[in-house]
């Protein structure tokens, strides 16, 4: 938050004692940006969250110092002003958001006030996420059926958008049925991690398991799974526990682990971590894991349909609209189920063979062995690389496969269910234009004015690390500041207009500082005078394309970058 107080970089350059060093902060969210405490002033945790000149945040984003807790931004929009204000002020009755939410509010408003500032904000962020996850369906819609009033909105959305389709994916169900049947479960203990509706646990019980222990982190799903199990007369075999498997213990080790914790990206739901923890604490040494292994693939494709959805290169009746291609996203890995694409019906041509990105043995591979960056050289056919398509294939011990490859499900009755439940990753491809000044140093970005040994209008302002200067520039633009001053490994943002920061009368000598002022903003366009439009990535027969894949934290996805030869 932008608070009061702060020592200007002039004092830093002069070697004056400017108080404790500013805390290191991330770019997003704004609560992670800090004002530097003034020399001799109170510690940052004791300073007001907002200066007198700056009003509090918008409705639904009030701070802990005002109302004891903060509502996520979406809640203010969904509830309406009057109800949101009443909830934010803490005047709602116990139970209006459910006991869990009331307990969260109490902890946020009381216990966190005694915690250090950094811990307060970390706890606040967790509370916001948890409160949003438990947001009752009855508060987000009118004429809500009584059966849904207190059910978390997120749970209803997940079932509407994903889980009903998953349960009706008969090929998926058959894969697990045959894999379990081949284990000869008579007299064995089966562990089901991420049980959901309880379907896999009930399969194991029907196939002769002595005991089945199912674990799921969602309390509502545990309640409904128990009802399903009772309705099928299997309560004497199957027990369902609420919590994470990593926080669960068994009095005896299991013979079989079955889990369906794969997502659009094979490892994005944590299957490798769940299996690794279970092998260490919950399974016998010779336990069977279902699925046994899996491989994440990618393939370069050409698709006229994707061109029509995500590009604008063709003129319409002689009207050239290609300038908007400057905004084409060739960085994000899109999930087809979120952008309304049905991969099993997508018309595309593979320009090379699918290539593996990672291979996992769920009975042995530790999470630490998964790659961080991978380079793959791919021979291609002549064509235009429109996108990189991601899919995975899992197998059981007998080699039966479960795959999200769109080619494997064309014309199948369960294809649409798999499109909706899992779908595929899709990253658009383009040949990027050269930078505004090829070979220019990072500090010589032509989109910014740069003034060595200068500062302008020094005073309080948010501070962050200067380790990645480009990220600092992005943060400056995002928060609407006219510029920032860099000193050593820190930058401090200036909350003034570009015009004020460019005025020489406002400049002061500051040895070791560098003042950066944006050339865009204040109503003026950013970027070069000519549109920076990615060109089509056309390739020839027998050409080799280098695909550099960078895996996200916790292996929740990946980003691909294509280079020629």
Distance, CA of 480 to CA of 133 (rounded, Å): 30
The residue annotated as part of the active site, out of 269, 276, 302, 395, is: 269
Pinpoint the alpha helices (H) of 168-303. 170-181, 199-206, 219-231, 271-281
How many helices (H) and strands (E) would you count in the chain?
16, 23
Q: Does the annotation mark 260 as catalytic?
A: yes
Phi and psi for 323 in degrees, rounded to 5?
A: -60, -30
Distance, CA of 132 to CA of 44 (rounded, Å): 28
Residue in this structure with the two tokens 């260490």, named with its chain if needed: 280
Residue 119, classed as helix, strand or coil, is helix
Token couple for 303: 């698709």
Instruction: To the nearest 10°, report the CA torsion of 521, 332, 561, 467.
Output: 50
Contacts of residue 463, Cβ cutoff 8 Å, sequence gap at least 6: 6, 22, 23, 25, 33, 34, 35, 36, 490, 491, 492, 493
The secondary structure element, H or E, covering residue 520 is none
In angstroms and rounded to an integer, the radius of gyration of the C-alpha atoms of the chain is 28
Q: Is 60 left (phi over 0), alpha (psi -120 to 50) or beta?
A: left
Residue 16, classed as helix, strand or coil, is coil
Q: Are 493 and 484 in contact (CB under 8 A)?
A: yes
The DSSP secondary-structure symbol of 311 reads -
User: Quick one: which of 239, 557, 237 has its CA closest to 423?
Assistant: 557
Q: Are 491 and 464 in contact (CB under 8 A)?
A: yes
**String of b and e for 279-309 (b: at least 16 CB within 10 Å)?**
beebbeeebbbbbbbbbbbbbbbbbeebbee
The residue annotated as part of the active site, out of 66, 154, 217, 260, is: 260
Find the length of the chain. 565
Residues involved in catalysis: 260, 269
């Amino acid at each position: 938050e932008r608070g009061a107080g702060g020592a200007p970089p002039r004092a830093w350059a002069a070697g004056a004692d400017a108080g404790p060093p500013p805390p290191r902060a991330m770019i997003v969210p704004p609560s992670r940006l800090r004002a530097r405490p003034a020399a001799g002033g109170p510690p940052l945790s004791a300073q007001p969250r907002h200066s007198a000149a700056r009003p509090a945040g918008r409705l639904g984003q009030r701070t802990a110092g005002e109302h004891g807790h903060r509502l996520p931004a979406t809640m203010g929009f969904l509830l309406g002003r009057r109800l949101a204000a009443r909830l934010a002020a803490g005047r709602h009755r116990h139970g209006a958001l459910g006991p869990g939410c009331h307990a969260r509010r109490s902890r946020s408003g009381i216990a966190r006030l005694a915690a250090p500032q950094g811990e307060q904000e970390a706890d606040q962020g967790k509370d916001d996420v948890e409160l949003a996850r438990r947001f009752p369906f009855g508060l987000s819609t009118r004429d809500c059926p009584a059966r849904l009033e207190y059910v978390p909105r997120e749970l209803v959305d997940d079932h509407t958008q994903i889980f009903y389709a998953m349960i009706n994916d008969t090929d998926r169900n058959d894969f697990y049925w045959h894999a379990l049947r081949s284990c000869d479960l008579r007299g064995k203990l089966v562990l089901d991690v991420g049980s959901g509706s309880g379907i896999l646990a009930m399969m194991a019980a029907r196939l002769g398991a002595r005991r089945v222990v199912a674990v799921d982190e969602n309390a509502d799903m545990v309640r409904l799974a128990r009802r399903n199990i009772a309705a099928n007369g299997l309560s004497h075999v199957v027990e369902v526990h609420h919590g994470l498997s990593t926080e669960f213990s068994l009095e005896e080790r299991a013979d079989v682990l079955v889990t369906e914790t794969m997502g659009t990206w094979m490892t994005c739901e944590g299957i490798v971590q769940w299996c690794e923890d279970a092998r260490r604490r919950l399974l016998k040494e010779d336990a069977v894991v279902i699925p046994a292994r899996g491989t994440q693939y990618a393939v370069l494709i050409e698709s006229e349909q994707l061109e029509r959805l995500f590009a604008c290169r063709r003129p319409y009746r002689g009207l050239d609209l290609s300038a908007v291609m400057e905004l084409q996203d060739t960085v994000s890995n899109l999930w087809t189920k979120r952008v309304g694409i049905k991969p099993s019906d997508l018309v595309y041509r593979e320009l090379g063979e699918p290539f593996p990105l990672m291979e996992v043995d769920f009975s042995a591979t530790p999470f630490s062995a998964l790659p961080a960056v991978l380079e793959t050289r791919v021979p291609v056919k002549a064509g235009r690389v429109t996108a990189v398509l991601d899919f995975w294939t899992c197998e059981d011990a007998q080699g039966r496969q479960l795959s999200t490859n769109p080619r494997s499900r064309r014309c199948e009755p369960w294809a649409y269910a798999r499109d909706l439940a899992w779908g595929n990753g899709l990253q658009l491809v383009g040949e990027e234009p050269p930078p505004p000044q090829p070979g220019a140093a990072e500090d010589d970005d032509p989109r910014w004015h740069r003034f060595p040994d200068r500062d302008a209008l020094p005073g309080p302002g948010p501070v962050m690390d200067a380790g990645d200067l480009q990220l600092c520039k992005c943060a400056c633009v995002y928060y609407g500041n006219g510029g920032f001053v860099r000193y050593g490994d820190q930058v401090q943002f200036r909350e003034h207009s570009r015009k004020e920061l460019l005025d020489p009368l406002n400049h002061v000598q500051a040895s070791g500082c560098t003042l950066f002022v944006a050339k865009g903003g204040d109503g003026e366009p950013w970027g070069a005078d000519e549109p920076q439009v990615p060109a089509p990535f056309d390739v020839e027969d027998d050409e080799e394309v280098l695909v550099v894949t960078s895996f996200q934290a916790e292996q929740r996805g990946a980003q691909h970058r294509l280079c020629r030869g």
